[in-house]
Structure 1
């Protein structure tokens, strides 16, 4: 009796997926809970596992094919697979010793690991796999990238291949490399274009004096970390807290347009933009208006680690009523962030620079940051947008307002 291998049920926000990699060929023995195929969606890579022991009978959807929720991918035939698993390790070992480049690149390299290796110029065959059956996982690829970055002088063990390739490039050579766009990158590109085409999007700017927030953080950061079990106090929690307070006062900024209706949200699900190897992802802090600074910092740190490890789930990146992005971590001085539909606004943070400012008739040096609020003018008037941003500025320049609710 054949067992159907079906795609998982995708959330409403994910229309379809693409078959990224089949890890088994027809006739291969499969064990229960063993990885069979990877499906790449707009947000994450989903691993499809075997429901029972058997033999892969047929493949219905090939690599690169588009699949919908619960669509048939292939079939699993009956079979103990006793002989195959016994000989498989030997065959795998033989293949690995005879042709390590082919084994590392094709047989045991996950799609996520392959992308990371290609983007960082790492030879896939040089990666050591710690996964099941010697499979090279995303964590292995990330570790290799970190090792490459931290190496004091790269020419030690593995640059033999790059060293051999470099002399082939003479001065003036015009080298091009063509790679297919990932679903995440394609989705980000499509949504950004749609946002600019379908919204009356404007951006308003202001600047905030970070003196008080920096003094508060400097004074209590050690005690904060000790009290909250290693959670570090950063700037993002202050901005999230200030934003949620401002959203309460200006509900239109926290609303969204649904057809001919305006939906006002009685909660603040704040998305925090995080850069990952697969592109920009926006995990969401649910009910951020109810969270303490420690809970916000812990949530952001957890999401950051999951993003780096490729462990963010679709649910964690779905929804959101408002977004905060911090280009200052990369040195951005000023930018115009693009609203993430169906949200109505996004707050952009930037680099903190010491600048001369006029305070009470005196020129003093203060740590200043430019803030940018991009908003949908169909829903938010200019006055609301400017006043919303000024509210955030006032709350950050006098953090006691957050405690006193003034």
Structure 2
């Protein structure tokens, strides 16, 4: 048990040193042993589901009493189905191809030197997250399988849930013969500990923040450790003039309303003026209990539409609210997205393949879709297993970050006695 009377810097140094030792031990473990640890951890999550749900109920009660928003409460909530899905995600990571040791490329120099770039673990990863307790399991599974130790710092609203999930995960990890310190949870919600983690360059190789804009902004501003992050999920669904009306209604309603609190939710719908079924699409959203904020043309379609402000085009609602604007074709849609998107996920709905390709090539987002719901912006849906997050940056990893995104590479050079002249 960590001594909570220690300074934040001392606590992180102690946990970081343990993580370094665990990462070294993990580097000596076989892939089969790591996969076995995850399968055992998944079973422990299933076996301990009642305790996890009970812990989550305490968190939910406290969060509701503290006025947490409905969207954040939805992210926090665990039930039997969500715990089962979390366990399934951990088990899926165990069955994914091992990225470590894979050769990215190789060549032979004129002097006979054989060069290859080989995937290796990053080392120790720090993950700072809010609300979603399933991140505890997802992060532990992905980091472990990619050969990394991980230090987790969950939000105060999910502290009981996170502890219960970590207990189950560690039980499985230790049963497979791996050190418990492969996965550690910071035992205090003191905000000063976050600062210490962000400055721990001696012990931490990468920081991954998952949470609201203020959290991610703080991490990016204060971190001395490299950061993998996205700030917002201001996602767009563009309905082209050549879109099938029934498909458009189905996709847009799903993209917004399936789960409004996830980062892949559509926040702005752009509709081509040439699309003839716009009133029915707006009505479908309103009938689905979604608040619609629109420009003048959209307001004229239904009396229930509220006037959109300029701020609406730059807002990630994470609830049942959507902004809608009419645009003059795909070029106008691309221009709006370039001005207002967060480079997370943007989609086009159209039967015109040429227009679709123009959109796919021109929109500079981590994920760009054609005739699909933006709710598919998820590592599991991409076949990557549980994701660590979705990166909107351009360096190292982009889009859903899973096993490969948690590795780096080293050069291996094989010679036969060459010396440099």
TM-score, L = length of structure 2: 0.21
Q: Which has the larger radius of gyration?
A: 1
TM-score, L = length of structure 1: 0.21
Give the number of the structure with larger relative contact order, counting CA–CA contacts within 8 Å between residues 6 or more apart. Answer: 2
Specify which structure has the higher proportion of helix: 2
